[in-house]
């Protein structure tokens, strides 16, 4: 499928599409968690004997069960955005540029810390405050004493010293438990290690070109996947990070195609097949969810289905960015430019919404035995979560993006400018609803 092509730049979609995608994905994740924390289950709604529009709405809400799989798209976007500038330099015909230092590791680490850390510190403080209030109002909620099997899987908030230190090192949910009740921090920990591994990706791309890079990264993921399946004695966090590394590497591969370093032929043929694959995986996961609700001991999430869904996402993203028909491209770009501001605040929205929704659920279940059958509380939770995320973005996060990084590249360039906003993309981590 891969063909090297260092001189031909393919037709390119506006990069604002990436911002729109991460914004929509973050919004989807937040809505999924609002449904999980603040709305009765679909099964409970049907058993109540309700009819009419509410039944339709409750049924449609089942489409929000795939929040975990949105993280795969974020990893894919992150691989694209982090590698884009270097991929553009590698694709240029000017050999002197290729001999330049492609990545200043110290500068790269400094930008990542500046971009992520201030908002994360505020979010960790807010998590501690919100969990403390929730524990005072309804300690049973955080101890797994509700009428809902899914909510009872929440771990009691952990504020031990090792957990605090681990979360300050961006390892919450991977090497140490997440701080308090902010479980989604796990994918930020994964992303940390993808950043650490990025120099390896860049060296492989430079020495072995795109196909060699993807082969090595994919091979490492296959080995890690097999190691996890056969119970090889390795730390689980290493197995996990390496298993999903190929998703990040696929994003970097699409960046190289976007920069004109390689060609990805056959996307118009592969895109419908990828959509079919994604829908098939979604059906399998839906059946697992039904079995879970009926009391079966099944796992909703596993690396196998995750990687299949990632492959579907990768092909569809490549098609959108590289080969979407011109008649559709302008319409997509127009919508993307309108949605791009949502992407700007996606990181802030992600890192604060979960403990806030948990507090709202704890408060409701302190006064009521069951969650409401209607969507009103979930809608209120979604609106207030959005407002909280916007406040964190406005007062903290937006000040951590330099003005030089705030330029959205719209037209092909032979040599990229100083790192653009896309290099500062952070995938919004998500967790799976088990209800």
- Tokens in use for 278? 């994604």
pLDDT band at 411 (very low <50, low <70, confident <90, very high): very low
pLDDT of residue 407: 38
Residue 309 has pLDDT above 60, yes or no: yes
Residues 218-240: what's their mean pLDDT? 92
pLDDT of residue 178: 94
Question: Which phi and psi angles does 231 have, rounded to 5°?
Answer: 70, 35
CA–CA separation, 108 vs 106, rounded Å? Answer: 5
Least confident of 101-105, 360-364, 427-431: 427-431
DSSP 162-191: HHHHHHHTT-BTTTBPPSBT-GGGHHHHHH
Residues 299-323: what's their mean pLDDT? 94
- Residue 411 domain-assigned (yes or no): no
- Residue 427 domain-assigned (yes or no): no
- Residue 425 domain-assigned (yes or no): no
- Residue 410 domain-assigned (yes or no): no
- Residue 59 domain-assigned (yes or no): no
Residue 96 has pLDDT above 80, yes or no: no
Residue 100 has pLDDT above 70, yes or no: no
Residues 190-211: what's their mean pLDDT? 95
Cβ(42)–Cβ(59) under 8 Å?
A: yes
Which is higher by pLDDT, 42 or 311? 311
Residue 254 has pLDDT above 90, yes or no: yes
DSSP 54-98: HHHHHHHGGGGGGHHHHHHHHHHHHHHHHHHHHHHHHH-S-HHHH
- Tokens in use for 109? 């680490």
Cβ(322)–Cβ(11) under 8 Å?
A: yes
pLDDT of residue 123: 97
- Residue 388 domain-assigned (yes or no): yes
pLDDT of residue 51: 66
Instruction: Provide the number of structural domains found in the chain.
Output: 1
Residues 150-174: pLDDT tens digits? 898 887 888 999 999 999 999 999 9
Cβ(243)–Cβ(224) under 8 Å?
A: yes
pLDDT of residue 173: 93
Instruction: State the number of CA atoms in the 13 A half-sphere of 406 facing the CB.
Output: 9
Alpha helices in 323-370 (DSSP H): 326-344, 346-367
**Which residue range is the domain that position 12 belongs to?**
3-47+66-91+103-401
What does pLDDT average to over the chain?
86
Residues 264-297: pLDDT tens digits? 999 999 999 999 999 999 999 988 877 776 666 6
- Residue 97 domain-assigned (yes or no): no
pLDDT of residue 429: 37
pLDDT of residue 154: 82
- Residue 426 domain-assigned (yes or no): no
pLDDT band at 61 (very low <50, low <70, confident <90, very high): confident
């Amino acid at each position: 499928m891969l063909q090297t092509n260092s001189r031909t730049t393919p037709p390119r979609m506006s990069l604002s599409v990436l911002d729109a995608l991460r914004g929509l994905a973050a919004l989807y994740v937040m809505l999924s968690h609002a449904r999980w924390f603040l709305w009765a289950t679909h099964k409970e709604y049907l058993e109540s004997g309700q009819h009419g529009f509410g039944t339709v709405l409750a049924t449609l809400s089942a489409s929000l069960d795939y929040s975990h799989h949105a993280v795969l798209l974020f990893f894919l976007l992150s691989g694209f955005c982090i590698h884009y500038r270097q991929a553009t330099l590698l694709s240029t015909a000017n050999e002197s540029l290729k001999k330049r230092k492609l990545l200043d590791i110290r500068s790269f680490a400094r930008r990542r810390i500046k971009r992520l850390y201030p908002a994360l510190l505020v979010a960790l403080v807010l998590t501690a405050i919100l969990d403390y209030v929730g524990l005072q109002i309804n300690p049973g909620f955080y101890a797994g004493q509700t009428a809902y099997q899914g909510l009872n899987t929440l771990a009691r908030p952990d504020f031990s010293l090792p957990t605090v230190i681990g979360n300050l090192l961006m390892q919450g949910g991977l090497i140490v438990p997440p701080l308090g009740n902010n479980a989604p921090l796990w994918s930020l920990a994964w992303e940390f290690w993808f950043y650490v591994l990025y120099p390896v990706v860049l060296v492989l791309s430079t020495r072995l070109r795109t196909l060699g890079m993807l082969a090595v990264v994919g091979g490492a993921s296959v080995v890690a996947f097999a190691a996890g399946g056969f119970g090889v004695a390795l730390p689980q966090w290493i197995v996990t990070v390496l298993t999903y590394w190929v998703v990040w590497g696929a994003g970097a591969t699409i960046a190289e195609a976007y920069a004109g370093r390689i060609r990805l032929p056959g996307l118009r043929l592969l895109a419908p097949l990828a959509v079919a694959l994604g829908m098939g995986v979604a059906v399998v996961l839906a059946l697992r969810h039904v079995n879970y609700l009926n009391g079966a001991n099944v796992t909703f999430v596993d690396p196998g289905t995750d990687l299949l869904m990632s492959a579907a996402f990768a092909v569809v993203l490549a098609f959108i960015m590289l080969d979407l028909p011109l008649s559709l491209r302008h319409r997509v770009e127009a919508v993307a430019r309108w949605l791009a501001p949502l992407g700007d605040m996606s990181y802030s929205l992600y890192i604060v919404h979960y403990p806030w929704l948990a507090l709202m659920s704890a408060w409701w279940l302190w006064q009521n035995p069951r969650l409401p059958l209607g969507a009103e509380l979930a809608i209120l939770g979604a609106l207030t979560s959005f407002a909280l995320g916007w406040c964190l973005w406005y007062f903290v996060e937006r000040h951590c993006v330099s003005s030089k990084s705030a330029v959205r590249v719209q037209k092909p360039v032979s040599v990229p400018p100083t790192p653009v906003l896309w290099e500062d993309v952070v995938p919004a981590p998500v967790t799976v609803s088990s209800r």
